[in-house]
Structure 1
Amino acid sequence: DLDLAGERGAGLIEDLQQRMLPFAILTASSDGAELARACTPECLGLLPKSLDADALLNAVHRILEGERVIDERLQTLIEEARNEAALLTDRQREVLMLLADGLPNKLIADRLGLTEITVKTHVSAIMHALGVRNRTECIVQAMRRGLIGTEDSDSV
């Protein structure tokens, strides 16, 4: 699972991915971004824990036969997360993370080696992409959309 007791399943999955070993995931997660990170070519199966026994057994047989089996609902969550991630550029995501930390434009500019005007441009683009009018709404909407997690925000 992606959220194992005591140790995050994501760490185990990253280890398997680095070793290029095939794996399957049985999960209760509905976090599309987390699922997308896990669903690499090495992931041969991504299945919800809510599957009934017959469907799970069928999926495992298909995986063992070499078929890649991704649950439709989980695939939809992955696609939605990837679409959300495409809303912002990498630089805009960096600015968003610093916004979530409560930094003003001047400090964001200093941290990223940008001018304050460039940061203002990025902030405006982020707010436009998220359909919000102010920084607070921006962070709330980014959290709702899974663009940032609660651990990314010290101020909200």
Structure 2
Amino acid sequence: MVAVESEAVVREGLDANLDVAVLVASEVVCAGLEALLSRLPAVGGVRVLPLEADDLPERIGPADVLIVAADQWSMLESCTGVSGLPSTLVLGDDLYERWNGDLSSLPVDGFLSLKDLSVQTLDDALKRVTVGEMPIPASLAKRLLTGGRGRGTASAQGVIPLTSRENQAFVLLADGMSNKQIARCLGISVHGAKRLVGSILLKLGASNRTSAVITGMKSGLL
């Protein structure tokens, strides 16, 4: 039932005129990405951002969604803490290794696999990130689930004091649910769900949902 409701929310929540910004150095990948985006009815425009721009946050600003290649992800350091940034999708195939570096504080709301990139996977990721869900390739999710706990435990990293209600919300958040879906599952208001999610991010020291899920896996909360 949850899966059916999730799909319905995704279909209803997608904007019909998305402005997508692209930050990709590879001309081949950039051209292929533009071609796929042009086939999606919901995408109203695609802007390729210059790699040399000093005013990157301002250039990104008007976009609804930003797609950034994993190799250019670190460029978003200048955007850390900037309000009003669009939902950010990171595109690449070695994302697990990159999370072991110092990139967890960078803006990110979901991931795209370059190897599996298609009209369908791109459309699905855009739909999900637009309604507040966290798209993530199955291969990356599996590596995080099987490998995360081996690198750290709750006792090693310190106990994170989530309430029972926060724990319930955290499990739903990790399943990729939006605030609206969390509220429905817990029988609370959307504002109540937002407060729970905000409290979880604060306690985990996470800048976004993806970072929170990874921190939760490493600390043994998930």
TM-score (norm: length of structure 1) = 0.40
Q: Which protein has the larger Cα radius of gyration, Structure 1 or Structure 2?
A: 1
Q: Which has the higher helix share?
A: 1
